[in-house]
Structure 1
Amino acid sequence: MVDVVERGPGLVAVGYDFSGGDYDAAVWTSPDGDAWTRVPHDESVFGGASGQLISGVVVGGPGLVAVGYDFSGGDYDAAVWTSPD
């Protein structure tokens, strides 16, 4: 986890997970900051070739905007994820 934001009745944290030899972006939620649940991994959203990571998240518009990096092209490219909730 590298960033946390208050959202709704709890918290949302973002970051990455290293497993299977590469980095994948990851998101967790918590009602109280003590117990955390990882949002189910969806390779089409959080994964891909090489590595992806989320480095920041903000409340924006009707939901959340997260930013980070995608290494799948062999270099660092900016990446943006959005969620209405």
Structure 2
Amino acid sequence: MTTNVQQTSAAAYASLEDLGERQTAVRNAISAMGAACNAKIAKYLVVPINQVTGRVFELRDKGLVKEAYKAIWPATGRTVIWWETV
């Protein structure tokens, strides 16, 4: 049986096996929330934001998360990127 899977989808799926514990937690958090900014992910996981930002960057480089949109984060009043899983 042949399936029509995009090459990028196959690569992203394969890279799921290479994720570390924190990367997996961040990806799962984004997936559970639908879309989230780094601060929201940190709050959800109850970890400092510096444990999230690098993992989001790594997940983005692996093609596992992408920018969903930009919006104001009420706590700071600044525009931030909201991420979603691919």
How would you bin the TM-score normalised by the shorter chain?
Answer: under 0.3
TM-score w.r.t. length of structure 1: 0.25
The structure, 1 or 2, with the larger RCO (C-alpha pairs under 8 Å, 6+ apart) is 2
Computing the radius of gyration from Cα coordinates, the structure with the larger value is 2
TM-score w.r.t. length of structure 2: 0.25
